[in-house]
Each structure stands twice: as C-alpha cells, then as structure tokens.
C-alpha cells in the first residue's frame, strides 16, 4: 500500500495528528503546494570596519541617475560603499545605544539617518560627501519614515516637549523645515497606546505604537490638522521598533502575542493558529524589542529576523518567513547582524570584478546593451555575522521538512519498507529520510537512524509502529526546486497489544 504524506502547510501551533500540515520546515521558502530551497548568505562586499560586533544599519539609496549606493552604520560610524570599499563618511564619532540601530530614509537626493542618541544626519546621495546634521534642528529620533510629502520622526528622545509618544513631521517637501506650525510641520502626542515605535505607509499611513495602531490620513488643503489619526487596534501594537513593515497599504507587524496584518481598518491575525506559539517558544524574550522586519522586493514575502530562545549573541540567528500570496510560513536559521533590502550594483564593461556575471568587454557572455550592466536588481542583503556585506545568493541551506504524525494503518501497526521523497534534485546530494515512530500518543517519539536515498529514488527506512512521521533532510548546497512530501510503502503489521 502506497501512502502519500504531504508536507503541507507548516502550522506548528495546531494539533497535527493525522492532519495535512507540516510539523517542521527549516531553511526553506513556503510555496503554495511545496517548499523551495532557501539560499544562504554569500559575501559580495568587504567586511565592515569595527565588525563583527558593531554593524547596526544597512540601506541602499538611489541616485538621480538611477544607480545605487549602499550605506551602512556601526555603533560609531556611517559608511558608504565606494568601489567595493567602505568609506567613512561620518560627521563625528557617534554613539549608538546598545540594541538600537541606524534607520535610514531617502527623500529626493537626500539620505537621512537617525538613531536615538544622535541628531538626525543627512547626506546628498548624488553629490556624496560626509553626513552632517540635518538642518532645522529636528529632534533626536529612533525611527524615520517618508509619508507622502513629509519626513516623519518617531520615538523621539525625551527633551522639552518631546517624548517617545510624540511624532513630528517636517514641512511639506522640505526636510530642513522643522518649525512647528510652519509649512504644515507639526507634532502630535498620543496620550495612550505607549511609545510610538515608528510610522509606516504612505497614502494610508500608520502610527505604530507598542500598544496601539493608528492610521494617519493626510488631509490635503487642511492647514489646521494636516493629518487625521484614527485608532485601528487597541491594546495590541508592535513590540519592536523595527518589527513592522508595510507592503502597499498593508501593515505587517509583530505584537506581544504574535503576527498581524492591518489593511486600513481591517485587522488580520496572520500568525494565529499557525506560528505565534512556536515563535513565542523559540524567540529570546529579552531581545524581542529588536525583532527586525523587512519585505522581499522580488517575491511576495516578509521576513522577521529574531534571536532564538536563549541566544546571547548580538546578531540575529533566525528568520521567520511569511509568504503573503499564499499565507504560508517557514523558518530559517541564518546569522546576520542586520538585514536590509538592497539592490545589485552596476557591472562595468571593462573589468571582471567579484560581482556575479561581471564579464570582460571582450567576452561574449553579455551583449553590450545587456540589462545586466544596469544595477538595481533587488536583493536581500545583510551584514553577516563576520561583518561581510552579503546577499541571499549563496548555496542552498541544509533543509529539513517533517511530515505530521500519521496512523498509516487503520487501527493497526504498520510496517514501512521504503519512503519515496516527492521532490526533484541533483543526484549528487540526495540527503536522507528518517522515520519517527511510537506506539501510543503518550510515548516519546523515537527517531530511527536517517537513511540515504538509494538509486531507486527511495530510502529503505524500515520501521514498524502504529504512529509514523518522516523527516526529510536535504544537504547544504544541494540543487533542488520543490519538495512536496513523501510516498510511504506501508503494510499492516499486526495489532497493538
């Protein structure tokens, strides 16, 4: 009897016995009916000075000519990547508070960087040069966001009229205008809902507090209120100042009890009965205020980088991936000090650099008018744990997928003779399958030794038990595209005593 057992959707929070869900998926992307390989980080740039312990900001800004520049921040410096070397463009020696980051926003040709212990810094992306204090004496802030024609600062450092429940926005189309009451610049303090950890969105803006979410609607032509703020969610907000992101008008964030999405006034608990409990059990509670969200620009996915439970490291060591097109999740074990959405740099015509596919002018690998010579391909970048500028372009990470626990026989024990993985892949790296068995739900699961895939395409994972589950392991750097599940060859093997 052949029994297909799909991996199914990863929903570790629900009862899994005989269900169609997966109990574990690691280092894969969630597909609509399969799991896909997740590439590891591959360095493509130099090590950031003063790392591996000090990287705390990464951003790609676009020049007026359409090329991209990569900026990075450490606890004491701000850098720009020039000719694949980090160049110090700090205005002074900075002091970033432990656990805080540099946050960036581009407004026209200006790149603004904020962190709570320093005055907002600005540099011209086109002209270059060093960062300098942003004009207009804006307050020190933890987060920054461009909302329509305004630059919005949030989680302001307490001084004078400012505190962490206040936001201030610039004059309209003028990031050097911070005189309250002038050219639509103003402040708003929110009396409840806790600290404003950030703002997001554009046409529908969001004020993200640690215990409340509000929408911020610009009122064109209104010189009295400028923005209208409306509460959408009460008693829940984002627990991390970096733990939210928006895609279009949808805000995604991590709350005290898990993951949510908000579209205007509609709140969707995207992690409930899926991964919330798993995340709470597997994340380090003392570092949940540092959870970092970012959206993939090349795929419909969002990632939350976090520290695993018990982690004492300064760098993130886990990612929780959410595919918003199919509402499925997965998790990844990968280390990085900071993650960001970057863009590929331009390839030049006459040298062969370290960039992938950077062919010489004499080579026929790329035509002279190839689109590859224009940078800007979106990519997910990071400063890896060793301090190297990296992107998700490395060899596939070792993947693990586990089926749910199944009664393969109806009321009887089942003898499994072979397990056939439903996936493609290179024959040079086939990986293994292990069977986990037990006789009663009250017993502990016993994992049999992992068995390699044979020339037949199956693994001789002999086992006999009433309850079975199967763990598929695909080694690092193996080439494959989809993993759907396994087909088990099973037969009745007597009743349970």
Q: Which is nearer to another protein, 40 or 193 (by Cβ)?
A: 193
Report which of 20, 23, 1, 19 is spatially closest to residue 11, judged by C-alpha positions. Answer: 23
Q: Which two tokens stand for residue 314?
A: 């300064």
Instruction: For tokens 């002091």, name the residue.
Output: 95
Q: Which is nearer to another protein, 177 or 198 (by Cβ)?
A: 177
Q: Is 79 within 8 Å of 57 (Cβ atoms)? A: no
Q: Is 435 within 8 Å of 468 (Cβ atoms)? A: yes
| CB of 226 vs another protein, minimal distance in Å | 7
Q: Which is nearer to another protein, 199 or 276 (by Cβ)?
A: 199
| CB of 97 vs another protein, minimal distance in Å | 25
| CB of 206 vs another protein, minimal distance in Å | 18
| CB of 173 vs another protein, minimal distance in Å | 8
Query: What is the C-alpha separation between 79 and 70, in angstroms, rounded?
Result: 8
Query: What is the C-alpha separation between 483 and 40, in angstroms, rounded?
Result: 18
Q: Which is nearer to another protein, 17 or 180 (by Cβ)?
A: 180
| CB of 251 vs another protein, minimal distance in Å | 23
Q: Which is nearer to another protein, 227 or 322 (by Cβ)?
A: 227
| CB of 165 vs another protein, minimal distance in Å | 12
Query: What is the C-alpha separation between 368 and 298, in angstroms, rounded?
Result: 25
Render 255-302 in DSSP notation, one character per residue. Answer: ETTEEEEEETTEEE-TTTTTTHHHHHHHB-GGGGGG-EEEE-SSSSEE
Q: Is 232 within 8 Å of 225 (Cβ atoms)? A: no
| CB of 175 vs another protein, minimal distance in Å | 8
191-to-165, 184, 188, 209, 239 alpha-carbon distances in Å? 7, 22, 9, 11, 18
Write out the residues near another protein by the rule CB under 8 A. 135-136, 160-161, 171-172, 174-184, 186-189, 223-226
Q: Which is nearer to another protein, 175 or 275 (by Cβ)?
A: 175
Q: Which is nearer to another protein, 177 or 205 (by Cβ)?
A: 177
Query: What is the C-alpha separation between 112 and 121, in angstroms, rounded?
Result: 6
Report which of 425, 438, 435, 432 is spatially closest to residue 488, judged by C-alpha positions. Answer: 435
Q: Which is nearer to another protein, 139 or 394 (by Cβ)?
A: 139
Query: What is the C-alpha separation between 110 and 126, in angstroms, rounded?
Result: 8
Query: What is the C-alpha separation between 96 and 149, in angstroms, rounded?
Result: 28
Q: Which is nearer to another protein, 182 or 351 (by Cβ)?
A: 182
Q: Which two tokens stand for residue 435?
A: 């069977």
Q: Residue 434: phi, psi to the nearest 5?
A: -125, 145
| CB of 167 vs another protein, minimal distance in Å | 11
| CB of 227 vs another protein, minimal distance in Å | 8
């Amino acid at each position: 009897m052949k029994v297909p057992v799909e991996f199914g959707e990863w929903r570790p929070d629900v009862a899994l016995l005989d269900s169609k869900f997966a109990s574990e998926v690691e280092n894969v992307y969630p597909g609509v009916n399969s799991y896909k390989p997740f590439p590891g980080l591959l360095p493509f740039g130099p090590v950031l000075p003063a790392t591996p312990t000090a990287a705390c900001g990464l951003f790609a800004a676009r020049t007026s000519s359409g090329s991209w520049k990569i900026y990075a921040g450490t606890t004491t410096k701000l850098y720009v990547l020039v000719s694949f070397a980090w160049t110090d463009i700090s205005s002074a020696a900075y002091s970033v508070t432990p656990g805080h980051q540099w946050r960036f926003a581009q407004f026209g040709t200006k790149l603004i960087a904020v962190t709570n212990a320093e005055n907002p810094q600005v540099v011209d992306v086109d002209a270059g040069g060093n960062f300098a204090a942003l004009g207009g004496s804006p307050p020190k802030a933890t987060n920054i966001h461009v909302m329509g024609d305004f630059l919005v600062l949030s989680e302001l450092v307490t001084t004078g009229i400012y505190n962490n429940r206040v936001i201030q926005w610039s004059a309209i189309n003028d990031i050097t205008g911070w005189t309250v009451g002038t050219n639509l610049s103003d402040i708003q303090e929110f009396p409840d809902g806790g600290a404003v950890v950030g703002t997001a969105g554009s046409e529908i803006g969001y004020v993200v507090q640690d215990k409340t979410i509000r929408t911020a609607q610009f009122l064109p032509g209104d010189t009295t209120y400028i923005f209208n703020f409306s509460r959408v969610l009460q008693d829940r907000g984002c627990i991390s100042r970096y733990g939210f992101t928006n895609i279009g008008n949808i805000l995604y964030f991590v709350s005290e009890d898990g993951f949510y999405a908000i579209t205007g006034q509609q709140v969707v608990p995207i992690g409930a009965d899926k991964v919330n409990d798993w995340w709470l059990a597997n994340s380090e509670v003392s570092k949940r205020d540092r959870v970092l969200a970012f959206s993939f620009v090349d795929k419909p996915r969002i990632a939350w980088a976090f520290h695993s439970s018990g982690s004492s490291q300064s760098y993130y060591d886990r990612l929780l991936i959410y595919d918003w097109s199919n509402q499925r999740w997965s998790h990844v074990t990968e280390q990085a000090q900071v993650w960001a959405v970057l863009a590929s740099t331009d390839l030049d015509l006459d040298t062969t650099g370290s960039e992938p596919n950077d062919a010489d002018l004499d080579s026929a690998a790329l035509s002279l008018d190839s689109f590859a010579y224009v940078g800007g391909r979106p990519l997910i970048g990071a400063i890896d744990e060793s301090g190297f500028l990296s992107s998700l372009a490395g060899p596939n990470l070792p993947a693990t997928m586990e089926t749910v626990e199944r009664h393969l026989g109806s009321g009887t024990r089942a003898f499994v003779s072979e397990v056939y993985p439903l996936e493609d892949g290179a024959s040079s790296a086939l990986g293994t399958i292990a069977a986990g068995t037990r006789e009663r739900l009250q017993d502990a699961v016993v994992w049999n030794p992992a068995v390699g895939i044979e020339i037949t395409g199956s693994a001789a994972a002999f086992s006999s038990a009433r309850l079975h589950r199967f763990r598929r392991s695909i080694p690092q750097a193996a080439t494959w595209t989809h993993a759907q599940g396994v087909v088990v060859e099973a037969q009745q093997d007597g009743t349970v005593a």
